[in-house]
Structure 1
Amino acid sequence: MQKTRRIGLLMIISGATLWGISGPMIQWLFQKTELTSSDYLIFRLLLAGLFILVFLLFKGDNIFAIWKHPSHRIHLVIFAVLGMLGAQYAFVETVRISNAVTATLFQFLGPVLIPIYIAIKDKKLPTPMKVLAVITAFIGTFFLITNGSVENLVLSDNAVVWGILTALGFTFYTLQPVNLIKKWGTMVVVGWGLLIGGIVLLLINPINDYQKLTESITFSTMTMFLLIILSGTFSFLLYIGSLKYLSATETGILSSIEPLVAGILTVTWLNESFGGYQLIGGGFIILAVILLTVPEKEIEKGVVASERVS
């Protein structure tokens, strides 16, 4: 038991660290190339989706069975477009406009919004601990955006809008595919979600400036791009795997190292600076997520698992 627990701890810490690293790497890619968020995501979603689905095929899983059910097909497409593509695009655009730490912290607001949605849906007040978590998160968001001064906002209007959309997107794709995940498994749903999201984005906003794209491709940028895809994908697989050995509460707490890793890299590697109140705000948001793991009943594993995607 102790050995399997150590394996679980190693998996979740590694997975959270890899996800925390991926944000600064995306920011570096935007700084060194002329890629747009759409250009980047088309390749990332398509390649990550294919990676997961091919992996499942080699395992012998029937990845096409989900398409035989009309209602499941509809829900899968909705998840792919509004959840997977929507959340990923908002996250990457927040990185591009502001920085990796800000995007990661806004992403962390997703789990905090879930109790609000459930309270409205069930017409029932959340537990005191969840109320405290929500209040803590909003205090943290206020400091993150304003750095303690409402007269001089630290983040631009666009960064705030895309950051809020990031939180809403991650909330949506955490809640919406729960039934699909119970029936078909997380990896099948997420794999198809990534692939469909990439195809839809390619159709809506195709890559037109191939010259600019080829000029951006160097050995260093291509290497970074591949590392981003691998880190995000393996982060997801490690997170899912850790749920076999640890409780959802433990994984929720340990995943809080994501913004810490992103923050350290962004400051030391990318030379970003943050105000004192912004750092306090980040701490409040992380604390809010930790408080959400305290309630009497753990979040169902299938729901929690969908909160980490490549």
Structure 2
Amino acid sequence: MNRRKGIFLVITGAVFWGIGGTVAKKLFQQYQVDVDWLVTVRLLIAGVLLLALQFFGKDRSQILGVWKSRRTAIQLMIYGLFGMLAVQYTYMASIEHGNAAVATLLQYLAPVMIIVYLLVRKQSVLTPQDLLIVSLALIGCFFLLTNGSLSQISVPSAAIIWGVLSGVALAFYTLYAVPLLKQYDSLVIVGWAMIIGGSALSLIHPPWQIDVSVFTLEAYLSLLFVILFGTMFAFWFYIESLQSLLPKESSLLGSLEPLAAVLTTVFWLKEPFGIFQWAGTACIIGMILLVALQKESSSRSNQHPRNEKPLRVS
């Protein structure tokens, strides 16, 4: 029963992440919501709610304890600004200029960037599986962005740039988090990182400076969905799934996120998607599955695999 609950939670969380990006695109298109404002509000509210979950459900002493060490506090500030804020802003900017499907798929280039980084730093060796992952990513991106035509790019250049930057930010976010997660619960680290990122962006775009007169009930419900379901509940469900599933299993089922983003973008927002773009989507989702399976094989040597704390960001 616990295993079924874990599977249900991680699938629901992944679908919420994917749909959340599509709903954000609707806010950009229909209500001209500013990307700066949405990212600020999303981070601040979701961060507070995640810390509230930690306060009422886990070790509440960690919430303030993370700030007692100067070194940890500096790491957390860097992580919040150049990890969390960078990931969230670049992802939403890519959605604003393109669509949620392309933004999500480009963000999932992060595993390839991590492989290249570790190779350059000589911290790993290139394996046949790594070559397959990189090949699938490159082929998938080519089809996704060109729809099979060399003469034109079917996705706006701004969406591509922001999407690739989102992948870079996600790679940094993933690598830099490791020492912090060895000391503190992921709810504490991610909750504070969201608050730090949201607070920094609010200095540029205060969350109260927005004209809500054009907002309808649908707009408010969409905003509520992005903040609660597309951010807070999605992350919470993913973390809770680790109570009954191995991290490798949660990572594998989490690959439903880009699929949900593609399907809702095409069938709900009626965005055009060519046959080669579907082929590119299949390549990138295949890459994600291979990465998850690679984690599975490497985690077999881990004596306590349930102690791993993977993160989700979308």
> Which interval holds the TM-score relative to the shorter structure?
over 0.9
Taking the aligned partners of 1:193 and 1:302, their CA distance within structure 2 comes to: 21
User: Could you tell me which residue of structure 2 aligns to residue 289 of structure 1?
Assistant: 288
Q: Which residue in the other structure is 2:108 paired with?
A: 108
* C-alpha distance in 1 between matches for 2:207 and 2:260: 32
Given that 1:81 and 1:200 are in contact with CA atoms closer than 8 Å, whether structure 2 keeps it comes out as: yes
**What do residues 51-79 of structure 1 show as CA deviations (whole Å, max 9, x unaligned)?**
11122223351201111101111110111
Q: Which amino acid aligns with 1:42?
A: T
Q: Distance in 1 between matches of 2:105 and 2:240?
A: 24
| Counterpart for residue 154 of structure 2 | 154
From 21, 25, 31, the counterpart of 2:29: 31
Within-5 A mapping of 1:73-222:
73-206=73-206, 210=209, 213-222=211-220
Going from structure 1 to structure 2, the CA distance change for 1:301 and 1:276 (only over 3 Å counts) comes to farther
Q: Does the 8 Å contact 1:112/1:134 carry over to 2?
A: yes
Map of 1:237 onto structure 2? 236
Q: Aligned residue for 1:6? A: 4
Q: Which moved more, 1:4-13 or 1:284-293?
A: 4-13
Identify the match of residue 54 of structure 1 among 43, 52, 55.
Answer: 52
Aligned length: 305
User: Which residues of 2 match residues 264-279 of structure 1 at below 5 A?
Assistant: 264-279=263-278
| Cross-structure match for 1:41 | 39
Equivalent residue, structure 1, for 2:310: 305
Q: Supply the distance in 1 between the matched residues of 2:309 and 2:28 (Cα, whole angstroms).
A: 30
How many Å separate the matches in 2 of 1:216 and 1:122? 54
Aligned counterpart, 1:223? 221
The answer on whether the counterparts of 2:10 and 2:250 sit within 8 Å (CA) in structure 1 is: yes
The separation in 2 between residues aligned to 1:267 and 1:302, in whole angstroms, is: 38
Structure 1 alignment gaps of length 5 or more: none
Residues 256 and 124 of structure 1: CA distance in aligned 2, closer, same or farther (over 3 Å): closer
The answer as to whether partners of 2:247 and 2:308 remain within 8 angstroms in 1 is: no
Is contact 2:259–2:285 with CA below 8 Å preserved after alignment? no
- The 2-side partners of 1:5 and 1:61 are apart by 27
Shift of the 225–73 alpha-carbon distance from structure 1 to 2, 3 Å rule, reads same
2:20 aligned partner: 22
Match of 2:256 in 1: 257
Percent identical among aligned pairs is 36
Aligned residue identity for 2:86:
G
Give the TM-score taking structure 1 as reference length. Answer: 0.93
Q: Alpha carbon RMSD of aligned pairs, Å? A: 1.9
TM value normalised by structure 2:
0.91
Aligned-pair CA distance for 1:304: 5.8
- Cα separation, partners in 2 of 1:250 and 1:258, compared to 1, 3 Å: same
* Runs of 5+ consecutive residues of structure 2 not aligned to the other structure: none
